[in-house]
Structure formats: C-alpha cells, structure tokens
C-alpha cells in the first residue's frame, strides 16, 4: 500500500489511475467537440468528419458514451463482472477506431480525430497494463494493427498542417485555388484571364510552382527584392523571361514552393494549371454558380491536352 496525501491507496487501485485519466479526458474531449468546440481542428478532414454521424447522432457523442462506459467500468473494476465488460469495451473501441483510421488513410486525415484515437490507444494500453483482462492477447493484436494506421495518419496530418500550400497572391481561404508555373503558356492564359476581371481576382488564390531553373529565376525576381509587394502586376511579371544576372531564391521561399509541390502531389496531379473550386463551373458566358465569370472549358479546354508537366521535360508543354 502507498500513502498519498494522508490516504492509503492499494496498489490495484493505484494502477487504474492512468486508465481513469485517459478515459475521463477522452469523454470530456468528445463532449466538448460534440458541442461545437472544434478542438485541435487543423485539417480539412476535421471539417468533413465533424458532420458525420449515425442515426442523426454525432460520432463524438458515441465517443463520449464509449469513454464514459470505460471510465465507469474502471471505477468499479473490483466487481467480478466488470473485467470482461472492460475488455470488450476497450477491444471494440480499438477495433472501430482502427477501421476509421483506415478510412482516413484512404481519404482525408483528421487532426481532431487523432486526439480521440490517441486517448483510445492510451486507454487500451493502460487497461492491458493495469489488469489481466480476458482476451488480452487479442486486445494486444488489435492494438498493434491500430498503431500502424495511427502513425500513418499522424504522418499525413503533419504533412497537411506543417506543409500547407502558400499563395503568392490572394489568401489560403480563397474559394478558387490555381496552381501554376511561370513558364507554362496555359498557366499564363488562365492567370491573365482571372486577374483581368476584378470580381474574379478577389476570389482566387494563386499558388506558384518551380518546375525548372527558369521558374526559379522568375520567382526570385519577384520574391527576393526587399519590401516587394506581390500584387497582380507582379504576378503577371512572372511570365516574362528572367535575366541572366538575377537574385537567387532564398531558403524560406524554396520551402514555400516545395510546400506547393507537395500539395500538388497529394492531389495526385503532375500537370499545371490546376484549378480547384468548390463548384462545377458552367460553360458559356453566363458565369458560374459562385459568380465567377469564366469556366474551366473556356479557360483551358481539355485538361488532358493542355498545360505543362511538373516532372520530366517540357517538350509537350502547351
């Protein structure tokens, strides 16, 4: 027995404290997010999965009920019937979370969901360590599979959070995102078209990529001068050939351009221009559902036949 703050606590009671803490924090976290707190929401997957539910009930509420059950079973673990139920609760929590981690691996990673997954994993680890639970080997086997997908999704979350694409013009919240290369003729056509209309220019974010040394030289000419304001005219200046004696890209700007290339790779795209929009644009002069006075077909025709590759040579660049 150990004496803490004047109280004697049995070893068996002390060993369940980590499980009580993990399950309590998990329940509290799920309850707050179910109420709309959006804690640790830093990826696109958070916004998507936040609306997910079953029978009209948010998955965060199911998580709260699960953590609450684990907490109560741990609290009354001295009762003879609670150990099998605790093993079942931890096993089901790990299993369902493993399935959701696989889902995130295939689709969008979610930073907020990873916090829930971490607390589930900690609860399972604490439960296995504290008690000789029925089906302990099976629980450990599920935990090993869970850990593989957990760390896979963690890497995806880090890539999305730490390596966010960087716009040279506009903001990251712009509804339409255009990835382009300064030496791509089709990119120039798209960028000139959208910057030529004030309504369009206010709703786009332009993300440059450096696919060769000429791209780097043109971007350095715009980005490196001190106190340079990258406005629409400066962006259009990227499509003019670079001089032989120009500044070199700094390391911070190289990292920003690398982030843009990584974002393009996450989309599985190897050609620019790439236009991302929440709406499907209509063909014709009547505009699009979001008020943009242009369409993909009008701007660049068939994407398969237009644009420049971001890998290899530029022999087929149109």
Domain boundary assignment for the chain: 10-162, 176-309
CB distance 19 to 74 below 8 Å = yes
Does residue 78 have a pLDDT over 90? no
Distance CA 162, CA 156 (A): 10
What residues form DSSP beta bridges with 204? Answer: 176
Q: Which two tokens stand for residue 72?
A: 């109560």
CB distance 262 to 163 below 8 Å = yes
Q: Which two tokens stand for residue 148?
A: 């593989």
pLDDT at 312: 60
Q: Which residue has the higher pLDDT, 95 or 307?
A: 95
Does residue 208 have a pLDDT over 90? yes
What residues form DSSP beta bridges with 246? Answer: none
Q: Looking at 53-67, 115-129, 194-208, 302-316, which range is the least confident one?
A: 302-316
Q: Give the closest residue to 120 by CA, choosing from 29, 16, 13.
A: 29
pLDDT at 309: 81
The CATH number of 176-309 is: 3.40.30
Burial of 286 (0-12, 13-18, 19+ CB in 10 A): exposed
pLDDT at 77: 86
Q: Looking at 51-65, 143-157, 159-173, 293-307, which range is the least confident one?
A: 293-307
Q: Which two tokens stand for residue 257?
A: 């351009």
pLDDT band at 11; cut points 50, 70, 90: low
Angle in degrees, 0-180, between the axes of helices 136-162 and 111-130, rounded to the nearest 10: 150
Q: Looking at 6-10, 76-80, 98-102, which range is the least confident one?
A: 6-10
Average pLDDT over residues 95-113: 94
CB distance 195 to 147 below 8 Å = no
Q: Which two tokens stand for residue 69?
A: 């059950």
Q: Looking at 22-36, 153-167, 211-225, 268-282, which range is the least confident one?
A: 268-282
How many C-beta neighbours within 10 Å does residue 84 have?
A: 13
CB distance 33 to 60 below 8 Å = yes
pLDDT at 279: 59
Does residue 119 have a pLDDT over 90? yes
β-strand pairing of 53-54 with 204-208: unpaired
Average pLDDT over residues 282-305: 42
Q: Which residue has the higher pLDDT, 47 or 149?
A: 149
Regarding the domain delimited by 10-162, which CATH topology (the fold level of the hierarchy) does it fall under? Answer: de novo design (two linked rop proteins) (1.20.1440)
Average pLDDT over residues 107-121: 95
Q: What is the dihedral of CA 41, 45, 51, 55, to 10 degrees?
A: -120
pLDDT band at 180; cut points 50, 70, 90: very high
Kindly report the backbone phi and psi dihedral angles of residue 271, in degrees, each rounded to the nearest multiple of 5, phi listed first.
-130, 145
Return the top range by mean pLDDT from 119-123, 168-172, 190-194. 119-123
Mean pLDDT across the chain: 84
């Amino acid at each position: 027995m150990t004496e803490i703050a004047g109280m004697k606590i049995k070893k068996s009671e002390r060993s369940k404290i980590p499980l009580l803490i993990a399950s309590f924090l998990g329940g509290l976290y799920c309850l707050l997010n179910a109420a709309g707190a959006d804690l640790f929401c830093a990826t696109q997957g958070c916004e998507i999965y936040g609306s997910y539910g079953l029978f009209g009930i948010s998955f965060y509420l199911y998580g709260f009920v699960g953590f609450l059950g684990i907490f109560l079973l741990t609290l009354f673990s001295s009762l003879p019937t609670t150990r099998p139920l605790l093993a079942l609760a931890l096993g089901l929590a790990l299993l369902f979370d493993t399935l959701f981690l696989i889902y995130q691996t295939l689709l969008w990673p979610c930073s907020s969901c990873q916090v829930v997954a971490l607390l589930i994993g900690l609860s399972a680890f604490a439960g296995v360590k504290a008690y000789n639970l029925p089906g302990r080997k099976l629980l450990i086997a599920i935990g090993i599979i869970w850990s593989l997908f957990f760390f896979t999704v963690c890497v995806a979350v880090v890539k999305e959070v730490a390596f966010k694409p960087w716009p040279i013009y506009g903001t990251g919240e712009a509804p339409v995102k255009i990835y382009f290369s300064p030496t791509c003729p089709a990119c120039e056509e798209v960028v000139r078209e959208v910057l030529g209309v004030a309504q369009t220019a206010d709703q786009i974010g332009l993300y440059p990529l450096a696919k060769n040394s000429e791209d780097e030289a043109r971007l350095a000419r715009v980005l490196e001068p001190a106190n340079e304001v990258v406005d629409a005219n400066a962006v259009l200046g990227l499509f003019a050939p670079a001089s032989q004696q120009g500044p070199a890209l700094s390391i911070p700007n190289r990292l920003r351009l690398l982030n843009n290339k990584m974002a393009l790779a996450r989309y599985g795209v190897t050609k620019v221009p790439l236009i991302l929009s929440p709406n499907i644009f209509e063909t014709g002069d009547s505009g699009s559902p979001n008020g943009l006075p242009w369409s993909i077909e009008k701007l660049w025709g068939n994407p398969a036949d237009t644009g420049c590759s971001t890998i290899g040579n530029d022999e087929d660049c149109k």
